[in-house]
Amino acid sequence: MTDGLSIVAASLRHVSGAGATPIAAGAGRAAAPAGQGPDFSAVLADVASGAAEKLHAGEAAAISGITGTASVQEVVQAVMSAEQTLQAAIAIRDKVVAAYQEISRMAI
């Protein structure tokens, strides 16, 4: 699943043109012209990248727990955080698909 999120993030960066200039960590929003909000596709790509990173961190914590290098509490916190991120990503995906379907049913 994390590979799928990485692919979505990369494709959204390509579409938005943000591939050459990655969004700074912690910025959370792409630069926009004065008087306009942030670019939607860049923000969505940033969210997808963050979700993929959090899922990778959860997987790494689970592996650390299996090898015995991380405490049970650290593993549970990381896995629960990754699960929450995955559920949020699925909810966003469902809303985007529903919006697309609604737009495709509109009369021209």
Full DSSP string of 19-68: TSSPPPTTT-S----TTS---HHHHHHHHHHHHHHHHHHHHHHHHHHHHT
pLDDT for 33: 61
Task: State which residues form the domain around 49.
Answer: 2-20+37-104
Asked if residue 53 is part of any domain, the answer here is yes
- What's the CA gap between 46 and 92, in Å, rounded? 13
For residue 87, pLDDT beyond 90: yes
pLDDT for 2: 54
Mean pLDDT of the chain: 78
Asked if residue 89 is part of any domain, the answer here is yes
pLDDT for 38: 83
- What's the CA gap between 22 and 55, in Å, rounded? 20
Span 86-100, average pLDDT? 93
Domain count, the chain: 1
Q: What is the pLDDT of residues 14-49, one digit of tens each?
A: 544 444 344 444 444 455 566 688 888 888 889 889
Asked if residue 26 is part of any domain, the answer here is no
Percent of the chain whose predicted confidence (pLDDT) is above 90: 50
